[in-house]
Amino acid sequence: MITLPIASSLADLAVVGLAELIDQAALQTRVDRKYLVPLAELPPLLSRAAPYARVLDIDGERSFRYESVYFDTPELVSYHSAAYRRRRRFKVRTRTYLDSGQCWLEVKINGARGNITKHRLPYRPQDRATVRPGGDFVDEALLRESISPGGDLHPVLVTSYRRSTLLLAGAASRVTIDTGLSWHVGVRMLHLPDFAVVETKTRAAASLVDRMLWHRGLRPARISKYATGLAALRPELPDTPWRRTLRRHFCGAAPSGGPELLMTRRLEQEASCV
């Protein structure tokens, strides 16, 4: 549930409809900057951004429930490509908008100079835990980018959160604010209730919100909902790109389904790398 201070701040913003948001800032090819922001920082941030931002409003709602299912090979090729910072990386997921029931199959490609390209296919919500109905679409999107996963894709992680989206004036850029973050792998679950992931999406240059965050001493964080969440829940995996984020923000968020074992293994792994 979105916290009251955030809801009040969102209520003070002017609104934008979905069609206009897509028309002005679809940004299927873009540069993303992600920040882990304490929830207490969000109301003043939204207050400062209010003269320059409009919030997505659909039928009077300004915060929406999302669920993403991430797919990878048995060898976790997608995960390891991110862990070892390979130049060309990919993610395959389904994203379900739980309030509207809409679902998409998505292929995200990290390319040159940090640019991200997203390919999307309308999908049936009942198929969101499998890529089989969209297998040809995934294969074609990866082939177009000269990427071969080298194995069949299976669901490996589910994330859920609430998202609010801002459209910034005078630039083709938008900002997403994700709260109520949770991850689960089988019976293992992890929650991060005291932070939001704020993500700016621009063609290249930093946005007004980026500069506001920098002024508050907040810098872009190495976080991927897929890779960081999987690393937190499976501490045997390599985690170098996200180790600082895991130490600073995830160590206090003990997973259910064996928290003592999981967190002990993570802390032992960190100590061995100090």
Alpha carbons 198 and 163: distance in angstroms, whole number:
10
Reported as half-sphere exposure (CB side, CA atoms, 13 A), residue 274 has a value of: 7
Residues in a beta bridge with 74? none
| Least trusted range by pLDDT, from 21-30, 170-179, 187-196 | 21-30
Which single residue is written with the structure tokens 């996200």? Answer: 242
- Residue 106, pLDDT above cutoff 50: yes
* CATH fold label, 4-273: Hypothetical Protein Pfu-838710-001 (2.40.320)
Which single residue is written with the structure tokens 């919100």? Answer: 209
- Residue 274, pLDDT above cutoff 70: no
Q: Delimit the domains of the chain by residue range.
A: 4-273
Q: Name the pLDDT band for 28 (thresholds 50, 70, 90).
A: low
- Residue 261, pLDDT above cutoff 90: no
- Residue 269, pLDDT above cutoff 60: no
Which single residue is written with the structure tokens 């999307």? Answer: 120
**161, 159, 156, 180: which is closest to 237 by C-alpha?**
156
Q: What's the pLDDT tens digit per position in 199-217?
A: 998 877 889 999 999 999 9
Q: What's the pLDDT tens digit per position in 37-92?
A: 999 999 999 999 999 999 999 999 999 999 999 999 999 999 999 999 888 899 99
> What pLDDT is stored for residue 186 in this prediction?
87
> What pLDDT is stored for residue 259 in this prediction?
46
**249, 253, 227, 255: which is closest to 240 by C-alpha?**
227
Alpha carbons 39 and 6: distance in angstroms, whole number:
8
Alpha carbons 255 and 227: distance in angstroms, whole number:
16
pLDDT > 90 fraction of the chain, expressed in percent and rounded: 68
Alpha carbons 16 and 191: distance in angstroms, whole number:
30
> What pLDDT is stored for residue 46 in this prediction?
95
Can you read off the two tokens belonging to residue 32? 């993303």
| Least trusted range by pLDDT, from 26-30, 219-223, 243-247 | 26-30
Q: Name the pLDDT band for 260 (thresholds 50, 70, 90).
A: very low
The CA-atom distances, in angstroms, between 211 and each of 169, 207, 214 are 15, 7, 5
- Residue 251, pLDDT above cutoff 80: no
More confident residue, 128 or 110: 128
**Residue 147 backbone phi and psi in degrees, to 5:** -120, 135
Q: Name the pLDDT band for 255 (thresholds 50, 70, 90).
A: low
- Reported residue count of the chain is 274
Average of pLDDT values for 182-197?
92
